[in-house]
Structure 1
Amino acid sequence: MKSRNWFWGIFFLLSAVFVIASQTGSFVQIGFASVLATVLLAALLISSAVHRNYFGIFVPLAFLYVIYQQPLHLVRISLWLLILAAIFASTGFSFLFHRHPNSHMCWRHGESIQPTTENIDDNNPYAKVNFGASSKYLHGDRLKSGQFYVSFGALELFFDQAQLSPDGAEIFLDCSFGAIKLYVPRSWQVIDHVSTSLGGVDNDIRLAQPAENAPQLTLTGNVQLGGIEVHYI
């Protein structure tokens, strides 16, 4: 946590320097809105690079190119073409350099086309949704871990028919330009350790009714320009 605070502290100090420098030389054409957008996009890009989220890297780069193509006399390219190129580049990198969140957790390798609705009887479930919507009903009897990716899509995860392992379960969520909804029994404890960049996690623990020594469901992962919602049922 301390190292993270040092990093962001230095980042915003450098941002202050950039704001002043942007008003000198060839950068004088950049207005306040462009300077603010640059700082926000840079923050998203750096955070995404740390977590190897390629959509969060290439899409901000596309917007930065548009902002600076005139001051830096770059080749003029349409914003929509840049975004399309960013999406293709992000998809390609996602396939070529697939991430694994923790080496001690076991995941399935390979994937197939996911139907709109699916029942998953697995204690280490995996799912990926790109440019679509899907609902997954989990039925594991000793759920230990899970890995779920969403890019430009929506995913619903239903945990009400699953049983956690005695040691609890850790679910890794990666959400970029999309939404993930989790439906969890009220009797469970949900621990949120998800990192967010221009996104958020909505987990109103006041709606939960966990008993003493209740099973723990730990959420980890990243959200960029998206949202995760936890619903207690």
Structure 2
Amino acid sequence: MPSQPRSARGDIGRRVATRRKQLGLSRQDVALRAAAAPGYIEYVEEHSSATPGIGFLLRLANALETTVEELTGATGDLPTGLAKAAEQARMVELDEADSWVLLGDHGVGRVALAGGDGPVVLPLNYQVLDGEVMFSTAEHSQLAAADGTEIAFEADHIDDAFSRGWSVLLVGPVHVVAEEEAARRLRESAYSTPWAGEGREHVMVLSPRRVTGRKIIVRGAPGDDS
């Protein structure tokens, strides 16, 4: 029997756990869907040495509403959105409450702001705090220089397995948290330090005046209404 793709080794557990949590499933739920023992799902998620066969990977990918390529990291260096458009897809507008739900309490998004040579789009980690969005950046970065101006922030999710996704856009003024104690508390409350590394202690907060979102719904796809 063929073994799993080489890229499956080492990080498949992290990918499985992340996808399971995105879907709001327990290990028991996934085990039932994949016709597996809950203990094996736990083993795959927690042991980097786990090497499940291709038959189990196919069932697991189906249980998690994704593909074997996504679970094994084969698409990790490819841009999202390579799949063909789905049949009977439709675009719907999201209200503000649903948009905040999709943003969650943290993640990675992009900010768009005016730079010296024109518009600039920067990826960054974000944290949602009571209707505002917090970022940490370097003191002399382009984002720090935008203090007191209006910027746009966008986060999205692309599901290549079903050619669907969503995006949320926030527009409003951004300001530096100048009081060090307040900035320290915000940094400590964040889910993660910036992925880009050290030296990003400058805390900024976006207070959106406009929140909009859109979602592609595919008829018949798991989790979408017909």
Fold match, TM over 0.5?
no
Q: Which has the higher contact order (CA 8 A, sep 6+)?
A: 2
User: TM-score scaled by structure 1?
Assistant: 0.27
User: TM-score scaled by structure 2?
Assistant: 0.28
Name the structure where helix makes up a greater proportion of residues. Answer: 1
